[in-house]
Amino acid sequence: MEVSSVSLGAVLRRFVPRFLKFHDLSLQQRKVLGSIIACKTPALGGHEFGCAKCGRRHCVYHACRDRHCPQCQHYQSQQWLERQLQDVLPVPYFHVVFTLAQELNLVIRYNERRLYDLLFAKVSQTLQTFARDPEHLGGQLGFMGILHTWGQALPYHPHLHLVVAQGGLNEQGQWVRPKSPGQFLFPVIALSEVFQGKMLSALERLYKQGKLKFPDELTRNGFPDQLRMAASKKWEVEIRRPFAGPEPFLRYVGRYTHRVAISSSRLLQADEKGVTFRYKDYREQGRWKKMILPGIEFVRRFVQHILPKGFQRLRYYGWMAGAKRREALGKLREQLVQQTQCVVALLVKQAEGKSLSPPRYRCPFCRSEQVTWLGELAPGRTVGRSDSS
């Protein structure tokens, strides 16, 4: 595997000015691109350090902390994982993916907030409808959903990842298990058909009420045909095998909760030819391949994955949601006390050993730890020729 030689910020610094000559952006999109471009550069300021061993100075620049920035999300992911450690139960967890028909991509792009919310709502309704049925579970599910809008080569591909506990709470607050132990709660084909029906019915209703935006009248008038095309296809709902315990579950979920459209580790080169990056081709069993996109096209693809301001892409449902979460977890621990205590004790011990400690800065020139903080740098100011970011 090749090592990345370029960061996303560097790619955007190079190509965004050209992109803006041909494309308009919203205020939110401009803000996100500006944050990533400035991340860990003198534009955001930082801290100046001096090395007692070699006598040279360097600085560490501030991060932008934007949720679309790959440089910032790894650390945020680790912090999130630590907060989740004691909420994991000793039951199997499933990874479920709900994908929309590509015929709906255009209308979703023009109605992002409304239709992303609709996707979350209809997925939740579908799962809980099946969960309430005594033939399947007879209880309320607990799960989290994470919105992703991209594929490996950065096409627009909105879909929802869910992590679902294999079991639920009945009306008496008792933990109930699925009727077929070792298997998922619900039949996947039926799940897909119900979800498809709920989503299409809601879209048709919004269209008739005039609540959907379109780029032009031609697209608006042709939307019923797009709905019929989407209805004629089988929508993909994928249910993957359960995780083998809490630790693999946490590692896996941590990768999904804070993932961005493309990480710097996948970027290989940026020059006048364009941007070269690695991607997995799942049509060939996840084989790694290279792709070269013109710089402006790369920026265009990245921009379409910038979420609306304040949009919550990670959500909790059922007994995992809000105030219900703590109450439900307390009841479940009482019922599963022996197993839970063992698991939680193990996870707490692991968390103590792996918890994030304050970064220890080394001199970038001689690698000495004899580094002294000299002061804060104002945004835009550099230290000089020996600076390091």
Query: Is residue 319 located within the same domain as residue 199?
Result: yes
Give dist(CA 208, CA 218) in Å, integer. 16
Confidence of residue 151 (pLDDT cuts 50, 70, 90): very high
What pLDDT score was predicted for residue 211?
97
* Residue 389: inside a domain: no
Mean pLDDT of 370-377: 86
For the entire predicted model, the pTM comes to 0.85
**Contact (CB, 8 A) for 195 and 126:** yes
* Residue 69: inside a domain: no
Q: Over the chain, what HEC string results?
A: CCCCCCCHHHHHHHHHHHHCCCCCCCHHHHHHHHHHHHCCCHHHCEEEEEECCCCCEEEEECCCCCCCCHHHHHHHHHHHHHHHHHHCCCCCEEEEEEECCHHHHHHHHHCHHHHHHHHHHHHHHHHHHHHHCCCCCCCECEEEEEEEEECCCCCEEEEEEEEEECCEECCCCCEECCCCCCCCCCCHHHHHHHHHHHHHHHHHHHHHCCCCCCCCHHHHHCHHHHHHHHHCCCCCEEECCCCCCHHHHHHHHHHHHCCCCCCHHHEEEEECCEEEEEEEEHHHCCEEEEEEECHHHHHHHHHCCCCCCCCCCEEEEECCCHHHHHHHHHHHHHHCHHHHHHHHHHHHHHHHHHCCCCCCCCCCCCCCCCEEEEEEECCCCCCCCCCCC
What pLDDT score was predicted for residue 342?
44
Query: Is residue 101 located within the same domain as residue 242?
Result: yes
Query: Is residue 323 located within the same domain as residue 290?
Result: no
Domain range spanning residue 270?
262-296
- Residue with the bigger pLDDT between 63 and 179: it is 63
| Residue 36 in this model has a pLDDT that exceeds 60 | yes
Question: How many domains are contained in the chain?
Answer: 2
Query: Is residue 144 located within the same domain as residue 161?
Result: yes
Quick: pLDDT tens for 287-325: 999 999 999 999 999 999 999 999 999 999 998 887 767
* Residue 339: inside a domain: yes
Give dist(CA 76, CA 67) in Å, integer. 9
| Residue 199 in this model has a pLDDT that exceeds 60 | yes
* Residue 383: inside a domain: no
Query: Is residue 324 located within the same domain as residue 188?
Result: yes
- Residue with the bigger pLDDT between 254 and 378: it is 378
Mean pLDDT of 343-352: 45
* Residue 35: inside a domain: no
Query: Is residue 203 located within the same domain as residue 312?
Result: yes
Query: Is residue 180 located within the same domain as residue 284?
Result: no
What pLDDT score was predicted for residue 300?
97
Q: What percent of the chain has pLDDT over 70?
A: 80
Quick: pLDDT tens for 203-248: 999 999 999 999 999 999 999 999 999 999 999 899 877 666 556 6
* Residue 25: inside a domain: no
What pLDDT score was predicted for residue 324?
65
* Residue 89: inside a domain: yes
| Residue 85 in this model has a pLDDT that exceeds 90 | no
What pLDDT score was predicted for residue 355?
45
| Residue 341 in this model has a pLDDT that exceeds 70 | no
- Residue with the bigger pLDDT between 389 and 50: it is 50
Quick: pLDDT tens for 48-81: 889 998 999 888 889 998 999 988 876 666 667 6
Query: Is residue 253 located within the same domain as residue 269?
Result: no
What pLDDT score was predicted for residue 384?
45
Round the average pLDDT of the chain to a whole number and report it.
84
| Residue 373 in this model has a pLDDT that exceeds 90 | no
- Residue with the bigger pLDDT between 257 and 192: it is 192
C-alpha closest to that of 347 among 252, 246, 254: 246
Confidence of residue 339 (pLDDT cuts 50, 70, 90): very low
* Residue 132: inside a domain: yes
What pLDDT score was predicted for residue 209?
97
| Residue 137 in this model has a pLDDT that exceeds 50 | yes
- Residue with the bigger pLDDT between 358 and 216: it is 216
Query: Is residue 255 located within the same domain as residue 266?
Result: no
- Residue with the bigger pLDDT between 385 and 91: it is 91
Query: Is residue 97 located within the same domain as residue 233?
Result: yes
Query: Is residue 146 located within the same domain as residue 280?
Result: no
Confidence of residue 197 (pLDDT cuts 50, 70, 90): very high
Query: Is residue 330 located within the same domain as residue 266?
Result: no
